[in-house]
Structure 1
Amino acid sequence: KNMVKNSKLAKSISDACWSLFTQWLEYFGKVYGRVIVSVAPQYTSQNCSSCGEIVKKSLSIRTHVCQCGCILDRDHNAAINILTKALKQTGYDLSTVGRTGTSNACGEMTLCSDLVTSLSKVAR
């Protein structure tokens, strides 16, 4: 905390670190044949991943609760929205993207692993 008192210098250091991180992601994506997609983070935790409704909440609220009945951890909801945005950007037809029909130990439906596998093959 307060490692650099000059805020402009701190921002420059932060920007440089983020740039290096994204370069490494792109590099290892190519090395391991994975697709790397940059997704705008705006509203990913506020949009309902189930119905698309905007559910405003402060940062202190950690659970996403929508009127449609969707109740998820805020980060889990955001992760689903980020995946959906990435799939749209890569041109996948989301109407054919479904669920496997099996649920995990928590009773949640799991995303089709074939979709993730096919995404990784796009880069090859």
Structure 2
Amino acid sequence: MDSEGCTPVEVPAVLQLRDYDLAVRCLEVIRTHLPAILPPGVRYRIDVIPLCHHHPANTYPAFGVFGTERWEDVVDAERRINAWVADRGLEWLVAESATVTAPTWASLRAPIAGTDPDQPG
């Protein structure tokens, strides 16, 4: 992960899954549709990140908005993404995620947790 800062964007519907490997795949589905979700010409990028709340053991998958200093961009992206997910439904998103290649939750959060993603736990 690069060192530039990001602002997190949560997708609550995806977190309802309680299976973070599946959640990461669903976020990747959303990410592939971002050109249609966001307004044309955006000058920032959105990646899947492990969002850490106060302790490395309390992490979950979310989006990170990189490359903007405008809070309005983040708020607009979050609103558009969550509306898009609500419009399609969680079942559709899960079905679409079946063919998506994405990192595992363990490998995504390993730098935060200080763990080896190839080891169980």
TM-score (norm 2): 0.23
Q: Which has the higher helix share?
A: 2
Whose Rg is larger? 1
Query: Which one has more relative contact order, counting CA pairs under 8 Å at least 6 apart?
Result: 2
Q: Which has the higher strand share?
A: 2
